[in-house]
Amino acid sequence: MEALPDPLLGRIFAAAGREAGVFYSEPDLWRSLELTAESLYDASADGKAGQWFAAKASLLRRIGGLVQQLSFSQEPIPDEDDEYTPVEQLAADSGSEWQLVSSVLAHLSPATLQSLRLDWVHVDAAAAAALQRFTSLTQLRIDRCVWQEAGQAGMVQVDLQQLLARLPQLERWGIFVGVYEQPGLQVGGAVLSGCVVEGCNRANGMAQELRLWRIERMPSLQQLVAAALPAGMQPSQLRSLDFVHCVLSLPAVLSCPFVGHLTSLSLSHCSAQDGNETQVYEALLQQAPRLLSLSLSGFWPSPIPAAIVSRTGLSRLCLASDGMAELPPGPYLSTLAATTSLTELSLVGARHLVLTAADVDGVLCRLLHLRRLYLDVDKTPPHVLDMLRPTAAMEALPDPLLGRIFVAAGREAGASITLVSRRWHRVFYSEPALWRSLELTADSLDKAYADGQAGPWFAARASLLRRVGGFVQHLLYSEALEDFYTQALDEEDTDEDQDHGLPNLQQLAADSGGEWQLGSSVLAHLSRASLQCLHLDWVAVDAAAAAALARFRSLTQLQINCSDEMSSCLLAALLSLPRLLRLELRCDVGLPTGLPTALQQLTQLTSLACSSYATLPQLSALLPLTQLRELDWQDRGRTSVLQVDLQPLLARLPYLESWDILGILRGQGGMQVRSPIPIQVVSVACVHVCSALSGACSLSIFHSRLPLPAVLSCPFLGHLTGLVLSICRFPDGGAAPAVEALLQQAPRLQSLTLQACFQKQPFPPALVNRTGLLHLSLVNNDIAELPPGSYLESLLSLDLGRNSWDTLPPALAAATGLTELSLAHNDRLVLTAADVDGVLSRLSRLRRLYLDVDRMPPHVMARLSQCMPHLHISDNSPHVLPSQQLQE
């Protein structure tokens, strides 16, 4: 993962989702954003409304320029007394300035934002003007702009005609105005609950849709529509009209010229004031000669009005009513079923309709273009459903191919897969690729034990191993009972006089009436020929388990971690594993007493790790392991100083590439880290290592005191390509002489890190004149000025984090080869537009910039994005810039 470039890593994080807590600068993660006030009211109740608004503001400042689709809602949530408090009032009460324009729209990029939905907001003239900046918008929706008060449609102060002229890319838009209290919305002499205006721009003009809710009184439909449309819109531009729960009257729907332009009409649960719905429907249909889509739902006259039956030219028809007993023939069906061009058919809610096989053969099979059929499945006989359904292609797949599909779905889908059928259940547990790697832990045992289900818990594990054990190549088996351990600690804190012993897996199995042993319950079900990697965590390897372990002669990796002392019987098992290449033994108490003799016979090992709080053997026991490439030796409980004779060790182990040796002296009064290895010994060892390496080599020294004589005459420095000095002290004249001595002896150096090494000291002159550096880190040195010099010209990455910059160093303009730059955690540094134009814009190759985004003014961020569109900006500055990671 560390070797992956940032863009690819960002794509992986994008696939994982924002829940992974990943970079705020990865564009794919923030293309779509939804901001609601759902959590505000809990925060307000806890007195944290101010922090809530600050967090949302910080998020928008960080990622607003990346958002392509934004849904922003300030819908109020009732409190315990069912009282609504507007978001603006909560903001004012908490001392926060929260406005649609300054808090939200100002942080979005006009060039990036494509879709915007505003819900429960106050759209005033300032907001309407701000919306005109977003010239890349393709979708705009403004919902529920009036609530809790007497409705006034004028609250949406948007000149739609002017707005659309300024937004040439806009494809779809919508505005919803509504009220939820009496006396209702007063529009054009009518009283209603709400209206929605929607539209989409097309090359041949603008198609409009108007939806009207709960009309209680309407003198004139023409007058209502004219008043409900935003400024600049005409009723003749409407193409679709929907009535929902409206009371209509015949005089109100007469003489409506705009109806002649409609192509779609919908009436849902509507009624007439005089009870004659038929005349109202006929009046509307007679004025709509261009109608293509007609929808009538709820209660409407039965039989179907003649004006509908005689209608021609309809391409979409919805007739949903409890009162319809039959579908009469007529011209209205001429462009539907009679020509077999029907693509969608819904029969949902037809209470008395039960489809038969004759219906399928005689009617539905003739609808050759039918692609979607909606019906009440629970009322349809199974044999009729079988006639309608296509052949189940999955059932026709052979078992091996079905198994490969399950592999792609992953084991996490097993809970659903195994419920489909017995065949799927069998294939799931018999597909080898699904079970090559297996983890068995006791994480869920504590809950099962508390619920009295420990017996079934053990039975399920045993059943799984019997089924899939033969396929397993890599097994992690852990008997760690972390939750039991935590519970025991809590009990000790409350009852210090009582000894609470910790149970083990075997005791819990016995308490549940069963038996569980590592050898018979786990290892016995694994394949000798298949198992290659085995990790045993927090286990006790007894004689039976050791004998079972010796059977796995194909084992190449073995890792054992236990808290009790390892038994000597394990050593015989190790000597029976001829293919074992990687061995890791970690034990708090002690490793087997015969370990040195056994290790000397495991000459095929390429990797060895041993760790214990009891004394380990001397390193001389490892000299016969001439194939070792990796060594991790952690002696954490010595009673005498660990003797590390590096030169003979490295000479006898010619292939050793990585070694980590730790010796801790445990004596009276606590722990003491033993005396550090003399630098002369390190020098000789590094010469040996560097001469064996063909690639880069890096040396890191942390928290050390480096007198000048110690860093003189170190020939191994000539092999280094990377040097890290972190929090080091230089007693002889400060950092400058020591840095000069080091640089003079390291002509191949490409990467240099000086972290917290020359605080309040002059910048090392030897570094200013250095050439050939590719990566430089000067983190946490309290540098107030960056001197110009040749050291900047060749740099690919530069880390200036945690320093004392008041302004951006002008000398940076000379580092024209930079691809990565970190300015993060400089508390006094606030970038300006002049910094962008005078310095950063000259770094034409810069692709990654790390800085404190929270303190970046929006106009500077916008300027930076405009000048450097390919720049990846993040405030998650890594400890080491990605391209600095060299072999150490």
Task: Tokens for 604, please give them.
Answer: 């095929």
Partner residues linked to 592 by β-bridges: none
pLDDT at 341: 60
What's domain 679-884's architecture?
Alpha-Beta Horseshoe (3.80)
Q: What is the CATH number of domain 182-331?
A: 3.80.10
Q: How far apart are CA 522 and CA 712, in angstroms?
A: 59
Q: How far apart are CA 182 and CA 149, in angstroms?
A: 8
Which one, of 337, 252, 262, lies nearest residue 295 by Cα? Answer: 262
pLDDT at 810: 92
What DSSP element (H or E) covers 294? strand 293-297
Q: Which pLDDT band, with edges at 50, 70 and 90, does 81 fall under? A: low
Q: How many CA atoms lie within 13 A of 798 on its CB side?
A: 23
Cα–Cα distances in angstroms (integers) from residue 186 to residues 191, 220, 249, 764, in the given order: 5, 13, 18, 77
Torsion (CA) 649, 652, 658, 664 in degrees, nearest 10: -20
pLDDT at 518: 92
Q: How far apart are CA 355 and CA 381, in angstroms?
A: 8
pLDDT, tens only, 786-810: 999 999 999 999 999 988 888 899 9
Query: Across 188-202, 525-539, 844-858, which has the greatest mean pLDDT?
Result: 525-539
Q: How far apart are CA 54 and CA 48, in angstroms?
A: 10
pLDDT at 529: 92
> Are the CB atoms for 875 and 24 separated by under 8 Å?
yes
CATH of 435-491+504-673, one of 3.80.10, 3.90.1070, 1.20.120, 1.10.3470: 3.80.10
Tell me how crowded residue 226 is: count the other CB atoms within 10 A of its CB: 15
**Encoded amino acid at 361, one letter:** D
Classify 116 as helix, strand or coil.
strand
> Are the CB atoms for 557 and 532 separated by under 8 Å?
yes
pLDDT at 156: 47
Q: Which residue has the tokens 């298949």?
A: 530
Partner residues linked to 702 by β-bridges: 726
Average model confidence (pLDDT) across the chain? 81
Strands (E), 108-153: 115-119, 139-143
pLDDT at 883: 41
End-to-end CA distance of the chain: 17
Residue 543: is its pLDDT beyond 60?
Answer: yes
Strands (E), 378-525: 437-440, 474-478
Give the range among 189-193, 319-323, 343-347 with minimum mean pLDDT.
319-323
pLDDT at 671: 42
Give the range among 289-293, 751-755, 772-776 with minimum mean pLDDT.
289-293
> Are the CB atoms for 864 and 853 separated by under 8 Å?
no
Task: Tokens for 316, please give them.
Answer: 């979409």
Classify 222 as helix, strand or coil.
helix
Sign of CA pseudo-dihedral 854, 860, 866, 871: negative
> Are the CB atoms for 1 and 22 separated by under 8 Å?
no
**Encoded amino acid at 567, one letter:** S
pTM for this predicted structure: 0.46
Length of the chain: 888
Strands (E), 27-138: 32-35, 69-73, 115-119
Long-range contacts at 809-815 (CB < 8 A, ≥ 24 apart): 809/785, 809/839, 810/838, 810/839, 811/786, 811/787, 812/786, 812/839, 812/840, 812/843, 813/838, 813/839, 813/842, 813/843, 814/788, 815/843
Q: How far apart are CA 98 and CA 102, in angstroms?
A: 7
Q: What is the DSSP letter of 100?
A: I
**Encoded amino acid at 429, one letter:** Y
Q: What is the DSSP letter of 217?
A: B
